[in-house]
Structure 1
Amino acid sequence: MSKIDLGQAMASSLFTDPVSDANISFEFFPPNTEKMEKTLWDSITQLESLNPKFVSVTYGAGGSTRERTHKTVKRILDETTLSPAAHLTCVGHSKSEVNAILEQYWEDGVRHIVALRGDMPDMNQDYIPHPQGYQNAADLVKGIKQIADFDISVAAYPEIHPDSPNLSADLDNLKRKIDNGASRAITQAFFEADTYFRFLDHCQSMSIDVPILPGILPVMNYKSLMRFMDLCGTKIPKWMQDLFEDLDDRPQTRSMIAATIANELCRKLYAGGVKDFHIYTLNRSELTYAICHMLGHRPKKEV
Structure 2
Amino acid sequence: MSPSAYPALSFELYPPRNSEAQESLWTTVQRLEETRPDFVSVTYGAAGSNREAAIGLLRHLLTDTTLKPLAHLTCVGSTRVELVEIVERLLDGGVRGLLALRGDLPEGRTEPSGEIRYADEFVRLIREVESGRTAQLAAGKVSVGVAAYAMRHPESESLEQDVAVLLAKEAAGADFAITQIFFRRSDYAGLLTRARDAGVTIPIIPGLIPFTSPRRLTKLCDLAGIEPDRDLMARLEEAEDDDARRSLGVGATVELGRAVLDEGAPGIHLYTFNQPTAALDVLEALDLARPPEAGSAVTL
TM bucket normalised to smaller: 0.7 to 0.9
Size of the alignment, in residue pairs?
A: 280
C-alpha contact 1:115 1:140 (8 A) present in aligned 2: yes
- For the pair 1:159 / 2:151, whether they are aligned, the reply is yes
Q: 2:264 aligns with which of 260, 269, 273?
A: 273
Q: Quote the residue 1:14 is aligned against.
A: none
- 1:149-207 Cα deviation digits (max 9, x unpaired): 42100000111211112223221111111100000010001111111001100001111
| DSSP-derived class of the 1:67 partner | helix
Q: Report what 2:51 is aligned to.
A: 66
Pairing 1:24–2:9 present: yes
2:223 match: 231
**How many angstroms does 1:85 deviate by?**
0.5
Instruction: Note if contact 1:26-1:279 (Cα within 8 Å) is conserved in structure 2.
Output: yes
Does 2:196 match 1:214? no
What residue number does 1:15 align with? none
Counterpart of 1:189 in 2: which secondary structure? coil
2:119 equivalent in structure 1: 137
Distance 1:68 1:137, change over 3 A: same
Give the secondary-structure state (helix, strand or coil) at the position aligned to 2:73. strand
Structure 2: 5+ residue stretches without partners? 131-140
Give structure 1 regions of 4+ aligned residues with deviation exceeding 6 angstroms. 298-303
Q: Structure 1: how far apart are the matches of 2:57 and 2:191? A: 33
Contact 2:41–2:71 (Cα < 8 Å) also in 1: yes
Q: Does 1:49 align with 2:34?
A: yes
Code of the residue aligned with 1:80 in structure 2: it is: T
- Name the counterpart of 2:255: 264
Aligned to 1:126: 110
Residues 43-80 of structure 1: per-residue CA shift (max 9 Å, x gap): 11001011111110011112211111111111111110
Q: Distance in 1 between matches of 2:128 and 2:94?
A: 17
Asked if 1:293 corresponds to 2:293, the answer is no
Quick one: distance in 1 between partners of 2:289 and 2:267? 15
Q: TM-score, normalised by structure 2?
A: 0.88
Between the aligned partners of 2:197 and 2:77, the Cα distance in structure 1 is 34
Contact 2:214–2:237 (8 Å) recurs in 1: no
Q: Deviations over 1:85-136 (max 9, x none)?
A: 10000123211111111111111110000000001343x6434312xx3111
**Using CA pairs below 8 Å that are at least 6 residues apart, which structure has the higher relative contact order?**
1
In structure 2, the CA distance between the partners of 1:125 and 1:227, relative to structure 1 (3 Å rule), is farther
Residue type of the alignment partner of 1:138: D
TM score, norm. by length of structure 1: 0.87
Q: Which residue, 96, 108, 115 being the options, matches 2:93?
A: 108
How many angstroms does 1:35 deviate by?
1.8
Q: 2:246 & 2:86 partners in 1: Cα distance?
A: 38
